[in-house]
Chain A
């Protein structure tokens, strides 16, 4: 069965610094991978998705993620953090047309 591990439940970066949120997945078949963002008391919003096309995926708000099969990773990055990026970020995986499984999330704090 597919699963997702997000390393670090909390990550703090200074405004303007690089953001790196880590995600490793487990899947018995080529996966579909997603990053979602959640602001307080809101639903989840899709940031970006990997669907077996380009391994470097660009998303909204300047975020991108790289699919690395050899490392079973799909880390999320942004070159320069902004205060508005403070939120909870979730990595998710789906095998084929199966259900979508989420990681436990990483809360991103932006330091002024």
Chain B
């Protein structure tokens, strides 16, 4: 068990560019969550998957954000046409249904 792995750990991008983050969950976990965290705030729910099915996407989430989990394994989160307001820590977590979530170390995005 290697835990939840997120790549890259840090990403600096210019405004208007697209970025993609990857999350590898704990292998037997069917649930996968994406959260966004800004300084001094709690993790804000973005979306989550059960296997390959996306169960819910936050209504606060812009259409520039999209997530996939092909084959129910790893997941990617893409942000198109990045804005400075997208600068944040993006956290991925995984779990079995009805159990606690285990978090990765996060990907820190800086949009300049």
Residues of B with Cβ closer than 8 Å to A?
4, 33, 35, 40-45, 48, 55-56, 91, 93, 97-98, 100-106, 108
Contacts and interface: CB of A to CB of B under 8 A. Distances in A.
Interface residues of A, number: 24
Interface in A95-112: 96-97, 99-105, 107
A97 B100 contact: no
Contact of B43 (A32, A51, A90): A90
Contacts, number: 52
Contacts of A9: 40
21 contacts: A6-B42, A32-B98, A36-B103, A41-B108, A42-B105, A43-B4, A43-B91, A43-B103, A44-B91, A45-B103, A46-B100, A51-B98, A97-B97, A99-B45, A99-B55, A99-B56, A100-B45, A102-B35, A102-B42, A103-B42, A107-B40
A44 B100 contact: no
Contacts of A90: 42-43
A32 B31 CA distance: 16
Residue among B48, B97, B101 facing the most chain A CB atoms (10 A cut-off): B101
Contacts of B93: 44, 100
